[in-house]
């Protein structure tokens, strides 16, 4: 048998043995790697713009506070509007709000534990 055939046979056996030896450890390896590379999500109650670095400079702290207030307003409005089974766009339309509330028959399901 020539050396090329011996090398090809060795390489094939090596690959098959490697797959057979590693296969039982795939699930634990995946679980371990997921703990290493998981992205930490901010919860609903976390601030979005105010950080320790931003607070150090007064002008940037004021801008971050302005952005945070707008963000809080948007999230609060979204929660209130969805509680009435309405959409944000309906509230700011030309229709009267009592009329919209009476006509709303679609239930909006919101997951309060979702971070978005």
Q: Say if CB 22 and CB 96 are below 8 A apart.
A: no
Handedness of CA 50, 51, 52, 56 (dihedral sign): negative
| pLDDT: which is higher, 115 or 85 | 85
- Render pLDDT for 32-62 as a digit per residue (tens, 0 to 9): 988 888 776 655 667 888 888 888 999 999 9
DSSP state of 23: G
pTM of the model: 0.48
Cα-based distances in Å from 27 to 18, 22, 35, 81, 94 = 16, 10, 13, 44, 56
State yes or no: pLDDT of 110 exceeds 70: no
């Amino acid at each position: 048998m020539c050396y090329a055939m011996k090398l090809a046979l060795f390489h094939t056996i090596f690959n098959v043995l490697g797959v057979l030896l590693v296969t039982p450890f795939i699930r634990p390896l995946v679980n371990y790697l997921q703990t290493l590379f998981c992205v930490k999500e901010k919860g609903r109650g976390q601030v979005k713009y105010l950080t320790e670095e931003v607070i150090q400079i007064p002008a940037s702290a004021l801008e971050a506070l302005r952005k945070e207030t707008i963000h809080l307003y948007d999230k609060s409005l979204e929660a209130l509007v969805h509680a009435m089974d309405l959409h944000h766009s309906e509230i700011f339309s030309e229709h009267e709000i009592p009329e919209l509330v009476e006509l709303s028959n679609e239930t909006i399901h919101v997951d309060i534990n979702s971070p978005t």
